[in-house]
Amino acid sequence: MNTRTSLAVLALSGVLATGLTACGDDEPEPVSSETGSDAAATTTEAPTTTPTEPTSSPSESESTPDAGAAPVYFTGDTPLGARLYREFRQVEADNPLEEAAALLVAGDALDPDSGTLLGGVTIDTVTQDDAAIVVTLGEDSILKAGKGTSAEDASLAVQSLVYTLQGVAQARVPVRVVLADGTPTDLFGQPTAEGVTAAPELDVLALVNLTTPEEGATASGTLDVEGVASSFEATVPYAVLDEAGKEVVSDFSTAEGWVDKLYPFTAEVDISALAPGTYTFVARTDDPSGGEGPGAFEDTKTFTVG
């Protein structure tokens, strides 16, 4: 996700984190397209967009009637600690909730800088009705976190599950967790037994998230870029790095907004002068502090020029 040290998969501790919203709170929800943000407005309506909307995603172009692209929110490092980075992944249409949850808990991210805070969790089923999304844990699933994990990381672990499942379902219904016998339970010290909704996206998402290019993409001539960001004055600087880490292309994009949420941005990057090889695209938030603050958020994707 970034050019800093990538986030190791963290041990989890049973502590109650702030920012996790109980069932019925009016918090934004994750959605999975680039038409606005990853959090919906404060209504009880399901989002009007679908997880398959980003048309330039390589995985999207490979969709079949029996499969679709689902947003999975993995965890990566940022200047403000662990945050969520979204990947659109192909899942079968018969049970996309369970498949997306399985990718998440396994930490099966395409980006090597991404991981999961839900290691040790096993999920038997995920079902949805008008009232809730219900996650049934496997009998061997851990419930309590390990030692040394902060309250923020414990909360973020559950938020990664909430954001993923609400994004796949395209619904603001709360996420509940139950044991194999149906008994409601909390998870990692979080009040999941009563149901939780998504925390505000500026509290849990990385402030720049790339949708395209995907990790490992191939491009020539022009590199099409899509993403979302909340960056100072809507400016999203970007660069292409060669294998030695040298900038060979640099410019910026302007997002559709900033401050209150993540907004879409796009770019068409001229790579026609680049020799065949492996490169890294990096998008950043603008840093008006001149280095005095924590630093810029960034998201990176490796791609190949054929």
**Per-residue pLDDT tens listing for the chain (306 residues):** 554 333 333 333 333 233 333 333 333 344 333 433 343 333 333 333 333 333 333 333 343 346 789 999 999 999 999 999 999 999 999 999 999 999 999 999 999 999 999 989 999 999 998 899 999 999 999 998 877 778 899 999 999 999 999 999 999 899 999 999 999 999 999 999 889 999 999 999 999 999 999 999 999 999 999 999 999 999 999 999 999 999 999 999 999 999 999 999 999 999 999 999 999 999 999 988 877 778 999 999 999 998
Contact present, 154 and 12 (Cβ < 8 Å) = yes
Measure the N-to-C terminal CA separation of the chain; round to a whole number of Å: 23
Element housing 76 (H / E): strand 67-76
CATH number for the region 208-305 comes to 2.60.40.1220
Q: Is 242 exposed, middle or buried (0-12, 13-18, 19+ CB in 10 A)?
A: middle
Q: Where in the sequence of the chain do the CATH 2.60.40.1220 domains occur? A: 208-305
pTM above 0.85, yes or no: no
- Residue located via tokens 């970007």: 238
Taking a C-beta distance cutoff of 8 angstroms, is the pair 225, 253 a contact? yes
Count CA within 13 A, CB hemisphere, residue 203.
20
